Amino acid sequence: MSEKIIEHPFFDDYARAFQARCLREFREEGREHLKKLVCTLMPSETLELKWPGWEIGMPRPVEFATEEAVNNWEEQAIVLLRDFFKRVEKGELYCDYSAVVEKFGGGVEKRIGKTSGLLFNLEAAYWTFNIKFNKWIKQNKKAHNCCLVCFLDEMLARFDAHLRVAFFPTPGPYDIGQRKRKKLEDRMLRKYAPTIRKALMKEIWG
């Protein structure tokens, strides 16, 4: 059976982040090779396995994959984190902001009381990602009865989990408490976004 390569809505975002990390542009054959590596549909026996939180796009536990695969997914999640904070600095989004306005009935400014600045950019970037990613995993669930169906999905799920723990806590396993969260945010920004760390932390915490 031939491998199925998915037309993934986040592939261009990932390719951009990967190229920036490599500090070089890809030729078309390079992009196609990268796409094959990260957007190939997983085998049916892998898609049939279920784990806690699979239906909402939580990452596969270590016992559901090889150590090498998990390490690679985590490494590429860091590539996506670096790109995310560059977007925050520049005010770039993952999809049209109207989707956020529709979700919150007024955009993130209604949630945070700001219409500009790094905190606004952080919220806008994350929620445009979140909306786009959730739409995708719902499509996956409908088509394959599994939300994470290729390597890129796993990278995105881990990227999302890192951001939720630090900046977007919800009740449950990703809520680590305010004190630990502040330290984690500072550590993450120091590592992945040092040029905006102080300014963003000031906006978040005052």
The verdict on residue 97 lying in a domain is yes
- Reply yes or no on whether the pLDDT at 122 is more than 70: yes
Closest CA to 165 of 182, 141, 144: 182
The verdict on residue 65 lying in a domain is yes
Range of the domain at 183: 11-205
- pTM of structure: 0.93
Mean pLDDT of the chain: 92
**Distance of alpha carbon 188 from the chain centroid:** 15
Q: Which residue has better confidence, 21 or 42?
A: 42
Number of domains in the chain: 1
Give the pLDDT of residue 166. 92
* Residue whose structure tokens are 């279920």: 50
The verdict on residue 5 lying in a domain is no
The verdict on residue 190 lying in a domain is yes
Is residue 118 within 8 Å of residue 87, measured between CB atoms? no
What are the structure tokens assigned to 163, written together? 């951001």
Backbone angles phi, psi at 146, to 5 degrees: -155, 135
d(CA 63, CA 143) in angstroms, rounded, equals 25
The verdict on residue 1 lying in a domain is no
The verdict on residue 3 lying in a domain is no
Give the pLDDT of residue 26. 74
Give the pLDDT of residue 173. 57
Q: How many CB atoms lie within 10 A of CB 49?
A: 12
What share of the chain in percent tops pLDDT 90?
77
The verdict on residue 180 lying in a domain is yes
